[in-house]
C-alpha cells in the first residue's frame, strides 16, 4: 500500500507526517502508521530540532513553567467531530458558547466538579493553550446553561444529531428518576422514585440506539408523570423528528393494556415483557407454566438449555367507553438455571424476613402492621402474623409461596411483527445498554444531586450531561470494537492517557512529554496522534 504525505496541525503549529496504511492480520482491518518528518517551514518538512519531545532531564534554563494534562482529552476530541457534535452545536451557538459547553462536557467525563471549579480545571488542561479567553466563571456558566434551557436548542440538536448518525431501527427505551432537595425547582414532584431516597424528582426518559450503544434523545418530565405518558410523548417526538421505521424495546414497567393498544394503533414494532397484573396474562402464564417444559420447545442458548413456547394474548377491555380486544403474539420462556437462582434467593430472603420478625420486639407506641411492613417489606405477602404479648408469631403462607415458585424461571415477551424466539430474547437482553447509560450518567458523570436553583438551568445542565453521555458511551463502544476493553475500562484508559502532558517552556514554546510504550499502543489502537 502506498504512503501519503500530509500536514497535521497540532496546538496551532503545522507538522509533516508520512502516513503508511497496512493490513492488520490479527484485527483483520486496515491500520495506519505515522512517521514524523519535520516542522512545516515554507511548505517543506524541516527537522529544526527535537522540540516535539521533552527530554527526560531539563536544564534549569529550559525547565517548564507550566504543565497541562493532554492525552486523556485526545479520544474525546476525536469523537466530537466524528459524530458531528461540534458542527451541530455551532448551528445554534456561537463559537465561544460551543467551546464553553464542550469544555463542560469534557470536564463531566474526565473529572466532574462544581461549576465554580471549572476555571481551575480548564487552566490545567491543554485546552487552555489554544483558548484562554473562555468565560468559565460560575456565573457565566450558569447564564449559558440557563439560556440553553430556555431555548429549543436541545430539541433541535437531537433532531439534527439523529439525522447525522442515522439511528438503527432498534431503539431501547427506559426512564429514570433524578432527585433533588432543592426548594426552588417547581418541576420537582413526588412520584415513583427509583432511587428510594424519599426526595421529590424529575423523570428523564432516554432512547438508545441498540447497535451504536449511544443515546439519541432524552426528554424531561415532572416527577409525578406516569411512565406510560412519557412513552406516548416520546413516540410523537421521534416521528416528528423523521424517525418512521423503528422498534421499541422496553422494560416491564411500561407493560399495560393502554401501552399495547397505543403501540399497535401507531403500528410501532415493540418487544416488552409481561407482568401478571392483567387477569388475561395471569391465565396465559398459568396455562403455559407446565406446557413450556415439553421437549418440543427445548432450545439451546448461550451454552445452556432454555424452553421457548409461542403464545398469544387475547385481552378484552374498554377503551374510551368502547369495547376493545387486544391480540398480541409472544413467547413464554422457561430458563431452568434462572429458576434455581430465583428459588435460592427467594428462600434465603424469606427466611431472613421470618427470623427478623420473630425476633422483633417493637416499642409499645409503634403499630404492629407498620413494623411488619418495615421488616418484611415485599415478603409480607408470604407471611401470616399475629402480635401477641409484645412479640410476633409468624408462619408462612404456603399457597402464596407455591404460586410464586411456579412462576420462577418463566417469563413472557410480547412482540409485534415477525420475530423468532432467539431474536426476541436477544434484543430484549441487549436493552441493558440503556441501563448502562443511566448508570454512567448517575455515577461516572455524577449527575446527582441536582443542585441548580432554576428550572431552565436544570434543563441546560441535563443537555450538557446528555452530550457527555453520548461521547462517553461512544468511547466505551470503541474500546469494545478495538479490543482495548479486554485491558481497560473507560476510567482506566483515561487515567493512563492523562500521563501524556504538554509543557510550556519559559520562552513560550510548547513541548510534549515522552509517550510510554503502553500509551503508544493505546493511541495506535484508537488511531490517534498525541
Among 128, 132, 137, smallest CA distance to 68 is for: 128
3-state secondary structure (DSSP) of residue 68: strand
Which of 359, 388, 407 is the C-terminal boundary of a domain?
407
Residue 105 lies in a domain: no
One domain for residues 225 and 161: yes
CA dihedral for 503, 505, 511, 513, sign (positive or negative): negative
Residue 21 lies in a domain: yes
One domain for residues 169 and 204: yes
Residue 14 lies in a domain: yes
One domain for residues 245 and 161: yes
One domain for residues 374 and 455: no
131 near 103, Cβ under 8 Å? no
Residue 417 DSSP symbol:
S
Q: Which domain holds residue 39?
A: 1-48
3-state secondary structure (DSSP) of residue 17: strand
Residue 371 lies in a domain: yes
Residue 460 lies in a domain: yes
One domain for residues 376 and 449: no
245 near 169, Cβ under 8 Å? yes
Residue 158 lies in a domain: yes
One domain for residues 18 and 41: yes
One domain for residues 440 and 362: no
What is the C-alpha separation between 50 and 141, in angstroms, rounded?
A: 40
One domain for residues 266 and 164: yes
One domain for residues 266 and 222: yes
Phi, psi values for residue 503, rounded to 5°:
-120, 140
155 near 37, Cβ under 8 Å? no
Neighbouring C-beta atoms of residue 459, cutoff 10 Å:
21
146 near 464, Cβ under 8 Å? no
Which of 388, 407, 426 is the C-terminal boundary of a domain?
407
Q: Which helix (H) or strand (E) holds 305?
A: strand 304-319
**Residue 143, all three cell numbers:** 447564564
Which of 454, 472, 490 is the C-terminal boundary of a domain?
472
**Residue 293, all three cell numbers:** 417444559
Partners of 307 in the β-ladder: 298, 334
- Cα 358 to Cα 150, 388, 396, distances in angstroms: 56, 11, 12
Among 86, 137, 76, smallest CA distance to 107 is for: 76
Can you give the pLDDT of all 530 residues of the chain as single tens digits?
566 677 777 766 777 777 777 766 766 667 667 777 777 776 666 665 434 444 434 444 455 778 899 999 999 999 999 999 999 999 999 999 999 999 999 999 999 888 889 999 999 999 999 888 899 998 999 999 999 999 999 999 998 888 777 655 677 888 877 765 544 445 544 445 445 555 567 778 888 888 888 888 888 877 556 566 777 777 777 777 666 667 888 888 888 888 888 888 888 889 999 988 888 998 999 999 889 999 999 998 877 899 999 999 998 887 777 788 889 999 999 999 999 999 999 999 999 999 999 999 888 888 999 999 999 999 999 999 999 888 899 999 999 999 899 889 999 999 988 889 998 998 888 777 777 777 777 777 766 555 656 778 888 988 999 999 999 999 999 999 999 999 999 999 999 999 999 988 877 788 888 889 999 999 999 998 76
For the chain, first and last CA: distance in Å?
A: 24
Residue 384 lies in a domain: yes
What is the C-alpha separation between 276 and 253, in angstroms, rounded?
A: 12
One domain for residues 440 and 358: no
DSSP 174-228: EEEEEE---SS-TT-B----TT-----EEEEEEEEETTT--EEEEEEEETTS-HH
Q: Provide CB contacts within 8 A for 28, sequence distance 6+.
A: none
Q: Report the domain count for the chain.
A: 3
Q: What is the CATH number of the domain that holds 441?
A: 3.30.420.10
> 44-46 and 29-41: which strand pairing?
antiparallel
Residue 135 lies in a domain: no
One domain for residues 379 and 428: no
Amino acid at each position: 500500500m502506498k504512503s501519503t504525505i500530509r500536514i497535521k496541525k497540532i496546538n496551532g503549529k503545522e507538522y509533516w507526517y508520512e502516513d503508511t496504511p497496512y493490513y492488520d492480520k490479527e484485527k483483520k482491518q486496515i491500520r495506519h502508521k505515522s512517521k514524523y518528518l519535520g516542522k512545516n517551514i515554507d511548505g517543506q518538512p524541516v527537522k529544526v530540532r527535537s522540540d516535539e519531545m521533552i527530554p527526560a532531564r531539563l536544564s534549569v534554563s529550559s525547565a517548564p513553567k507550566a504543565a497541562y494534562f493532554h492525552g486523556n482529552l485526545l479520544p474525546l476530541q476525536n469523537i466530537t467531530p466524528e459524530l458531528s457534535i461540534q458542527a451541530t452545536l455551532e448551528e445554534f451557538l456561537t463559537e465561544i458558547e460551543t467551546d464553553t459547553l464542550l469544555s463542560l462536557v469534557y470536564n463531566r467525563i474526565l473529572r466532574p466538579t462544581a461549576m465554580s471549579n471549572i476555571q481551575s480545571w480548564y487552566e490545567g488542561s491543554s485546552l487552555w493553550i489554544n483558548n484562554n479567553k473562555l468565560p468559565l466563571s460560575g456565573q457565566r456558566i450558569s447564564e449559558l446553561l440557563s439560556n440553553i434551557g430556555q431555548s429549543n436548542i436541545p430539541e433541535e440538536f437531537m433532531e439534527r444529531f439523529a439525522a447525522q448518525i442515522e439511528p438503527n431501527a432498534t431503539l431501547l427505551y427506559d426512564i429514570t428518576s433524578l432527585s433533588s432537595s432543592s426548594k426552588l425547582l417547581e418541576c420537582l414532584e413526588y412520584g415513583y422514585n427509583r432511587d428510594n431516597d424519599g426526595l421529590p424528582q424529575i423523570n428523564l426518559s432516554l432512547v438508545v440506539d441498540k447497535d451504536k450503544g449511544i443515546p439519541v434523545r432524552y426528554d424531561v418530565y415532572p416527577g409525578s408523570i406516569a411512565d406510560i405518558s412519557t412513552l406516548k410523548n416520546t413516540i410523537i417526538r421521534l416521528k416528528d423528528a423523521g424517525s418512521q421505521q423503528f422498534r421499541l424495546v422496553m422494560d416491564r414497567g411500561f407493560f399495560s393494556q393502554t401501552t399495547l393498544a397505543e403501540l399497535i394503533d401507531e403500528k410501532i414494532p415493540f418487544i416488552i415483557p409481561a407482568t401478571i397484573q392483567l387477569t388475561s396474562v395471569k391465565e396465559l402464564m398459568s396455562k403455559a407454566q407446565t406446557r413450556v417444559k415439553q421437549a418440543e420447545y427445548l432450545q439451546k442458548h448461550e451454552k445452556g438449555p432454555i424452553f421457548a413456547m409461542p403464545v398469544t394474548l387475547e385481552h378484552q377491555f374498554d377503551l374510551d367507553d368502547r369495547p376493545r380486544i387486544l391480540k398480541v403474539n409472544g413467547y413464554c420462556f422457561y430458563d431452568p438455571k434462572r429458576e434455581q437462582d430465583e428459588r435460592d434467593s427467594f428462600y434465603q430472603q424469606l427466611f431472613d424476613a421470618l427470623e427478623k420478625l420473630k425476633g422483633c420486639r417493637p416499642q409499645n407506641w409503634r403499630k404492629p402492621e407498620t413494623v411488619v411492613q418495615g421488616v418484611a417489606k415485599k415478603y409480607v405477602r408470604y407471611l401470616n402474623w399475629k402480635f401477641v404479648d409484645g412479640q410476633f408469631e409468624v408462619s408462612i403462607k404456603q399457597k402464596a409461596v407455591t404460586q410464586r415458585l411456579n412462576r420462577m424461571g418463566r417469563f413472557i415477551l410480547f412482540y409485534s411483527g415477525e420475530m423468532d424466539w432467539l431474536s426476541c430474547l436477544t434484543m430484549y437482553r441487549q436493552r441493558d445498554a440503556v441501563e448502562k447509560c443511566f448508570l454512567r450518567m448517575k455515577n461516572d458523570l455524577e449527575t446527582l444531586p441536582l443542585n441548580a436553583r432554576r428550572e431552565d438551568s436544570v434543563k441546560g445542565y441535563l443537555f450538557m450531561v446528555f452530550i457527555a453521555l453520548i461521547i462517553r458511551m461512544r468511547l466505551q463502544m470503541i474500546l469494545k470494537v478495538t479490543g482495548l476493553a479486554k485491558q481497560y475500562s473507560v476510567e482506566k484508559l483515561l487515567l493512563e492517557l492523562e500521563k501524556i502532558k504538554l509543557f510550556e517552556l519559559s520562552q513560550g514554546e510548547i513541548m510534549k512529554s515522552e509517550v510510554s510504550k503502553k500509551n503508544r499502543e493505546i493511541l495506535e489502537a484508537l488511531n490517534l496522534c498525541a
